[in-house]
Structure 1
Amino acid sequence: MDHSGHGMTMDLPPFTLGRALEFSADPFFLIGCLLALALYGWGVMRLRGRGDSWPTHRIVLFTIGVLTVAVTMCTGLNDYGMVMFSVHMVQHMIISMLSPILLLLGAPVTLALRALPVAGRGNRKGPRELLLALLQSRYLRIITHPAFTIPLFIASLYGLYFTPLFDTLMGSKTGHIAMMVHFLLVGLVFFWPIMGVDPGPHRPGYIMRIMELFAGMPFHAFFGIALMMATQPMVQAYRHPPLSLGIDALSDQEAAGGIAWAFSEVPSVIVLIALVFQWYRSEQRVARRSDRAADRDGDKELAAYNAYLASLQTRGQ
């Protein structure tokens, strides 16, 4: 890998799906993925060890979410993403819009709150208390508020790709890793209050969550269209792709724009399905509580009526 010019260049054979999925680990993300799976597994085992249950579908969704990060950053996709704008855009869309949703559906914060040990005697704060303090902190209230998350979500596109910042980050491996971590974190804070699976500072109603979801998605589509309609390469890092790839920079940019435009629909569908399911289950719980309350009221009325009949019988005697 040669660090020259504005970006990182490397000679690669023409892109194929097989080459893109070959194992090519980035140590930072590989260790991070393994650590995430290990901590989540520890939490599940701790719960089950004391006789508590944890939904299997949560485990499956979290695991798939971690695997999407691993596929994005620990395969040939990451190598091709350094020299092909279209492949980089696939990485960006997965790690910022698909991985966060799957990870959040795994309810890792809820698992941590249930699994972490509480403070022992004489200790004011244990691991669980520290996590609760973070969840209730002013800092988290700010960074998960829609007034912050929606502009941040939009700025991660326009403020990055249409300024020299992108080329600066692509100029080093550390910068590239930092950019990908940023995409993942932005996706997590954007979708966290919308998904509403884990406790957090903000828990808006279902209608408001849907509105927050659709507030950011059109900007993704506009961004993709802007790339597709451009008449010259807009990102310096991908202006001169290696000759070994046999691609044209402008055509590759057009493909990147198409990916950004099309992918904005994917999280919308997944989140909407999840929200409708949560809404349905919430209504079912409310209905069951109402039925139980009605049953209790009915039992009281029946008991009062029986007592009234008994009193009439006593008077008659």
Structure 2
Amino acid sequence: MNDEMKMNMHNGMSGPMWMPSTPPDLEGLLAWHPQPYALFPVLCALLAALYVVGLIRLRQRGVSWPIGRTVSWAVGVALVLWVTATGIEGYGMALFSVHMFQHMILTMLAPVFLLLGAPVTLLLRTLPTGKGRRGAPRRALVWLLHSPIAKVGAHPAFTLALFIFSLYGIYFTPIFDVLMRSVWGHYFMLLHFLITGIIYFGPVLMVDPWPGSKNHLLRIMLMMSGLPFHAFFAIAVMMSETPIARFFASPPPSWNVDVMADQLWAGGLTWVFGDIPTIVVMIALAITWMRSDDRLARRTDRQAERDGDAELNAYNAYLQRLAEYEATARPVRNG
């Protein structure tokens, strides 16, 4: 790491900050990359550790936890770490295409796997219950899940507006260039991308007790409602004849980067990432839908065993009475 890079990392200056000094290649993109404050590595370590603590507590109580949820959480944390602590983070400070890849992972893919890990459900099962101080954190979490704040945050009007703002509001206004002037502005933007994805996909997946409609068809429609805005943004980026973000208008001359070609790649990546997460979410929704129908069928069967199929017998009796009424009424009408 050269002296200029160290100084920029320390001061949080505009410009290259912790940008690599060599042109991008596969090895550089995948390698661990130094960065100031190491915010995201610490955050990822904390998220992984807390989840493991929850699993240990469940195991101590003899409560099972689906392995698929654990794997999903691990994948989600790994994706966040991958794009914030490797060369993707460094080269994302110079190339719009790499930055947009980072944005799409944080907004469109990592949140899906994190949500499939059901962290809120895990938290509810591990936090102590009761009316005393020990049960206060769990009661606060339950209150928050049913509060007006959560209902507004999960409303489609809010989630879709936030999703649209994370594209159009940041890149087509001076906000992006302002945030990229400092380390903490950059970190704030990355956190915004991640939180936006969680808020957008949370009411769609409904793995945790998320406020909103439980109807699978409505959730699919909510998922699909954001795709046109995503596609239009990608088209606007690809068709623009000038750099969208001034921050990426002057990459290092020695890299021989065509700024407009790089921006074309950025738009293409945005377009592709409108489809990949959609496939993952649709598969997840299909699985949960089938499981929901299966649970409903099992509950219906158990109820039928308990009451001798009273509901079906009552319906058959209704049909029988209806047929008898029709039979007695027909001669009167014929007469």
TM over 0.5: yes
Whether the 8 Å CA contact 2:128–2:135 is kept in 1: the answer is no
Query: What does residue 17 of structure 1 align with?
Result: 26
- Pair 1:105 & 2:116 matched: yes
Q: How does 1:159-178 map to 2 (within 5 A)?
A: 159-178=169-188
Contact 1:167–1:235 under 8 Å retained in 2: yes
Task: Quote the residue 1:273 is aligned against.
Answer: 283
Matches within 5 A, 1:125-274: 126-274=136-284
Equivalence for 2:315: none
Letter in structure 2 aligned against 1:88: H
Q: How does 1:276-287 map to 2 (within 5 A)?
A: 276-287=286-297
RMSD: 2.0
**Alignment CA distance shift 1:257-1:119 (3 Å):** same
**CA–CA distance in 2 between the matches of 1:8 and 1:247?**
15
| Alignment partner of 1:67 is 2:78 | yes
Structure 2 counterpart of 1:52: 63
1:247, distance to aligned residue in structure 2 (A):
0.7
1:294 Cα offset (Å): 2.5
| 8 Å contact from structure 1 (residues 12, 244) kept in 2 | no
Cα distance change of structure 1 residues 8 and 165 upon mapping to structure 2, 3 Å threshold = farther
Q: Could you tell me which of 95, 98, 112 is aligned with 1:87?
A: 98
| CA deviation vs aligned residue, 1:250-278 (integer Å, no higher than 9, x gap) | 11111000000111001110000000111
CA contact (8 A) 2:73 2:113 kept: yes
Q: Please identify, of 103-112 and 233-242, the stretch whose mean Cα deviation from structure 2 is larger.
A: 233-242
* 1:11–1:242 Cα contact (<8 Å) kept: no
Number of residue pairs matched by the alignment: 300
Q: Is the 8 A contact 2:57 2:126 kept in 1?
A: yes
Q: Name structure 1 gaps, 5 residues minimum.
A: 301-317
CA distance in 2, matches of 1:237, 1:299: 69
* Matched residue type, 2:119: P
Matched, 1:114 2:114: no
Displacement of 1:118 in angstroms is 2.3
Paired AA for residue 67 in structure 1:
A
Whether the aligned pair in 1 keeps the contact of 2:20 and 2:91 (CA below 8 Å) is: no
Greater relative CO, 1 or 2 (CA 8 Å, sep 6+): 1
C-alpha distance in 2 between matches for 1:8 and 1:217: 33
What are the equivalent positions in structure 2 for 1:294-313 lying under 5 Å apart? 294-298=304-308
d(CA) in 2 for partners of 1:272 and 1:46?
Answer: 32
Q: Which consecutive unaligned segments of at least 5 residues does structure 2 have?
A: 311-335
SS in 1 for 2:129: coil
Report the CA distance between 1:160 and its aligned residue.
0.3
CA distance 1:187–1:4, change in 2 (3 Å): closer
Q: State the 1:38 CA deviation.
A: 0.6
TM-score under structure 1 length normalisation: 0.90
Deviation per residue, 1:90-148 (Å, 9 max, x gap): 00000011010000000000000000122464x49521111111111111111111110
Say which SS state the counterpart of residue 8 (structure 1) adopts: coil
Question: How far apart are 1:203 and its partner, in Å?
Answer: 3.3
Which stretches of structure 1, 4 residues or longer, exceed 4 Å deviation after superposition? 2-7
